[in-house]
Amino acid sequence: MLDDPADSSHIVSFSGESAERTQDNLFEVSIDRMLLKSRDRPRVDGLPVPQVEMSTGSCRQIGSFVTRQVSSVTCAATDRNGKTYELSFESDGSPISLRRLRQASLSSDRLLARQIAQIECRLKARAAQVLPPDTTAFIIRCLGEDDGKPADGQ
């Protein structure tokens, strides 16, 4: 993932499923798409939905997550329009820290309640004759009001 310090509003993630370890400390991934995130993108549950760009390229990691020693990561990918995205990371030699993120599923009762709330908000949008481009923002605000929280905090 790339976060440009000169641009706090955009994040580029390189993604691919075809990976290969060619040597003990060399790991390569073929890139098939990039996820472009921006604070200007539409939001779902308060988070920007990335724009998926089909692309070709590769990422190379030198080092090992197992030993927590990764010396470098480089990525280069080109989108369908010929625009090239590149990432270069060089370690200072410090061991990396790993964090495991797990997404917990909602209980079936909470999921059903959330789906009902979304339907009710969609009906409110229709009743208020909200235009299609504004419907998502209306529903997000509506869900925030129903939760008793501001929509920005979701």
Q: Whole-number mean pLDDT of the chain?
A: 81
Q: Look at residue 103 in the predicted model and tell me its pLDDT.
A: 66
Taking Cα atoms as reference points, which of 43, 37, 29 lies closest to residue 13?
37
Q: Look at residue 152 in the predicted model and tell me its pLDDT.
A: 45
Q: Look at residue 151 in the predicted model and tell me its pLDDT.
A: 44
Q: Which two tokens stand for residue 16?
A: 């691919």
Taking Cα atoms as reference points, which of 143, 75, 68, 81 lies closest to residue 113?
143
Query: Tell me: the pLDDT tens digits for 49-62?
Result: 888 889 999 999 89
Q: Look at residue 8 in the predicted model and tell me its pLDDT.
A: 65
Query: Tell me: the pLDDT tens digits for 66-95?
Result: 777 888 999 999 999 999 988 888 888 887
Determine the length of the chain: 154
Give the integer Cα–Cα distance in Å for 50 and 12.
9
Query: Tell me: the pLDDT tens digits for 28-51?
Result: 889 999 888 877 788 887 777 888
Full-model pTM: 0.54
pLDDT band for 148, please (50, 70, 90 cuts).
low
pLDDT at 119 over 60: yes
Q: Look at residue 4 in the predicted model and tell me its pLDDT.
A: 59
DSSP states along 68-115 = TEEEEEEEEEEETTS-EEEEEEE--SPPP------PPPPPHHHHHHHH
**Residue 147: how many other CB atoms lie within 10 Å:** 13
Give the integer Cα–Cα distance in Å for 107 and 8.
35
Q: Look at residue 91 in the predicted model and tell me its pLDDT.
A: 87
Highest mean pLDDT among 23-27, 88-92, 104-108: 88-92
Q: Look at residue 146 in the predicted model and tell me its pLDDT.
A: 60
**Residue 34: how many other CB atoms lie within 10 Å:** 24
Give the integer Cα–Cα distance in Å for 134 and 101.
33
